[in-house]
Amino acid sequence: MPGLERLQHPSKFFTFLSPIPHLTCSRFAFKLLLKASRAVKFSFENHTRVNNVVNSVPAGLPSKRVITTRLKKQLLGAGAAIASMVLATGFMLWPKTPLNLGEGDHMSSAGVYEHWRAGDVIVLVRHAERCDRSSNPCLGPADGITHIGSISAAEVGKAFKTIGMDNADVLSSPATRTLQTSSYMFGHAAPAQDWLVSCGKPLRDDALAHKAAHRNLVLVTHSGCISDLESQLGFKHARSSEYTSSLFVSVAADGQLNVLGVMNEQDWAPTLKKIAK
């Protein structure tokens, strides 16, 4: 059986799983799936041993067919049970991804608007489409963004202006692509900060140190920096951020950070329409 054959070999097993949406093969998930495939493979390998044993059954005992059927059922049942337990554990512990704020009414239900009005939000915005990794026309320097990226940045900037920028400060990585992104978002390049390039473990403390009380802080930065903060806040295996996507994080009175969710560029327009209604 083609479907069962895939389960007998780990590489075919993962080929079998690959079309399933939203599965990211982290090292942890890989190990769990490998164990499951080996459990099923074990039951199939033992079919041959069962047949050898059955062929040696003396006359007068239950028929070979009855013995073969019973043993195969027991082996398959055991293999399937083990595989199910391993996979169930894997999916329960599957790496989390921040809430998609573009779905449903998540901007409101997650408290984004409330926190934004209070001025206790830090937003990490990834720069727009990179010129050196795209075939689209560039704005200028090769280390900058594309024309399409500038349009996306402008749209995201309009979205932030819609929810209000009167109580917000903007900082940017000194890289050309981030400075260009902030310029198209807000009409001028934001002050450059070297710590928005290196990021790493100090990122959380650096962001808090640059946030004024009761004022939101928008940081135009890089996907690696966004991943660093997500990892520090419990999302170690979150997907890499999209161009001009925004990670919203609330800041509690004691300085604790809480991930509210992610808003992708294409989701801003339909989300803001809900506000206008």
Shared-domain flag, residues 171 and 264: yes
Q: How many whole angstroms separate alpha carbon 262 and alpha carbon 265?
A: 10
Containing structural domain, residue 47:
2-92
Say if residue 224's pLDDT is above 80. Answer: yes
Task: Answer yes or no: is 213 within a domain.
Answer: yes
Shared-domain flag, residues 126 and 66: no
| Alpha-carbon radius of gyration of the chain | 27
Q: How many whole angstroms separate alpha carbon 177 and alpha carbon 131?
A: 8
pTM of the model: 0.70
Shared-domain flag, residues 131 and 257: yes
Shared-domain flag, residues 262 and 194: yes
Shared-domain flag, residues 186 and 271: yes
- pLDDT > 90: percent of the chain: 62
What angle is formed at CA 261 by the lines to CA 249 and CA 257, rounded to 5 degrees? Answer: 25
Task: Answer yes or no: is 60 within a domain.
Answer: yes
CATH of the domain at 138: 3.40.50.1240
Task: Answer yes or no: is 167 within a domain.
Answer: yes
Phi, psi of 198 (to 5 degrees): -75, -45
Shared-domain flag, residues 80 and 176: no
Among 34, 68, 92, which residue terminates a domain?
92
pLDDT tens figures, 42-82: 555 655 555 565 566 555 555 556 555 665 666 566 666 66
Task: Answer yes or no: is 99 within a domain.
Answer: no
Distance from first CA to last CA of the chain, Å, rounded?
Answer: 55
Q: Find the mean pLDDT for residues 85-95.
A: 53
Shared-domain flag, residues 71 and 115: no
Alpha helices (runs of H) in 129-193, residue ranges in sequence order? 147-163, 176-186
Shared-domain flag, residues 119 and 241: yes
Number of domains observed in the structure of the chain: 2
Shared-domain flag, residues 113 and 32: no
Q: What is the pLDDT of residue 233?
A: 96
Among 92, 118, 140, which residue terminates a domain?
92
Q: What is the pLDDT of residue 86?
A: 53
Shared-domain flag, residues 32 and 77: yes
Lowest mean pLDDT across 90-99, 112-121, 136-145: 90-99
Shared-domain flag, residues 231 and 141: yes
Q: Which residues contact 2 (CB under 8 A, 6 or more apart)?
A: none
